[in-house]
Amino acid sequence: MISAGIIVEYNPFHNGHLYHLQQTRKKTNADVVIAVMSGQFLQRGEPALVSKWARTNMALKAGVDLVIELPYTFCTQKAEKFAEGAVYLLTSLQADFICFGSESGNIDTFTNTINFISNHESDYNRFIRQFMNEGVSYPKAASLAFQQLAPSRDLLDLSKPNNILGYHYVKALQEIGSKTVPMTIERIHAGYHDQQLSSVKISSATSIRKTLAENRTLDHIQSHIPDTTYQELSAFYKKYNTFAFWENFWPFLKYRFSHSEPNELKDIYEVEEGMEYRLIRFAQEATSFKDFMEKIKTKRYTWTRLQRACVHILTNTKKEKMRNKFPEYIRVLGFNQLGRQYLKEKKERISLPIISNLSQAERKAVQLDIKISQTYSFAFGNNGQKIIEEEKKQFPIIVE
């Protein structure tokens, strides 16, 4: 069977994701599409709107054949580590292709850009240091450094978020010597960070979440998501009476700040360069998570970087727990008949242990993901126990 891997968050699964899924199957002629999906917290330092199990259901009902989890130690990382973890899992599953969306839409620009930066590595790093010394964030410094080196060349635009992720996917494939072939599909209509719903039926996940947060009703987003997503979101809201937003976690995060000394926070992953003092100070003044973020954001620290730090503070995740070079296991969240058949055919040749229920979960990294789900449950009040029970008892979801 020909297999194509995709790296996703599905927060939530929308019409743009459906387009990407359909184009992936068409472009690669894949029999099986494998999704590596983030767990309860995401790469930009946000809680997932609904649980990983609800998003697995969305994916399978939309046509994904096999869903596996990208562990917390990779799904809440900067783009480079996020990509390394996801690519390693798809390579371990012997995916023939990785197909990702990008603003570029041309795979040659990715390989050309990687080769260009490799050939100019010392100058590239020198410019990054120069721009960071001027007080800008690392992502911005990297983009400026690249522009300084190649302002007129027909290479990748590394100021675009999907291009950046794609760059790291292709780079990770090269670095681990993977035989998996990268392909890209041009992103259409909505931009990654668009705040408002599009006039067409493909809108960004950001705008969909923003609309949900403001209206707390699915009516406004119904035309921008597949019917299966609408049904899953409706069922989730009926069961838990809320979706998970950062504001749900603000009382718990504020408690962490009020009961932590600076030296304790300094041990938390992503808390560096004296950031702990700024965080504690403004947590005392802030009236909401949004207010807190607006107070602590600077040119040097991006909103995303600060949100990730907040996730790790909320979960009390220390630096030593995030040092895994690669994932140590494959956790299966769900599959259909084709996905099950693919796993059965490849099982003997997959070097990583495959975990389908927590009775098999002796590894420390898996235990961390269980703890993360316990923290995620805080968003749901008295219904949070259902999230914890689901994490402990749920076998892979099977969609026929």
Binding residues: 7-20, 101, 162, 187-188
Q: Please give the Cα distance from 97 to 112 (Å, whole number).
A: 19
Strands (E), the chain: 3-8, 32-38, 66-70, 97-102, 181-186, 330-335, 354-355, 397-398
State how far the Cα of 110 lies from the Cα of 83, in Å rounded to an integer.
Answer: 14
Are 100 and 184 contacting, i.e. CB atoms less than 8 angstroms apart?
yes
Contacts 24+ apart (CB under 8 A), 324-327: 324/73, 324/74, 324/365, 325/84, 326/84, 326/85, 326/88, 327/70, 327/71, 327/73, 327/74, 327/85, 327/88, 327/89, 327/92, 327/352, 327/365
Output DSSP code: residue 394.
P
Q: Annotated binding site for ATP, which residues? A: 7-20, 101, 162, 187-188
Question: In whole angstroms, how far apart are CA 100 and each of 14, 115, 361, 382?
Answer: 16, 20, 30, 38
DSSP structural state of residue 219:
G
Q: Other C-beta atoms within 10 Å of 394: how many? A: 16
Estimate to the nearest angstrom the gap between the alpha carbon of 368 and the chain centroid. Answer: 17
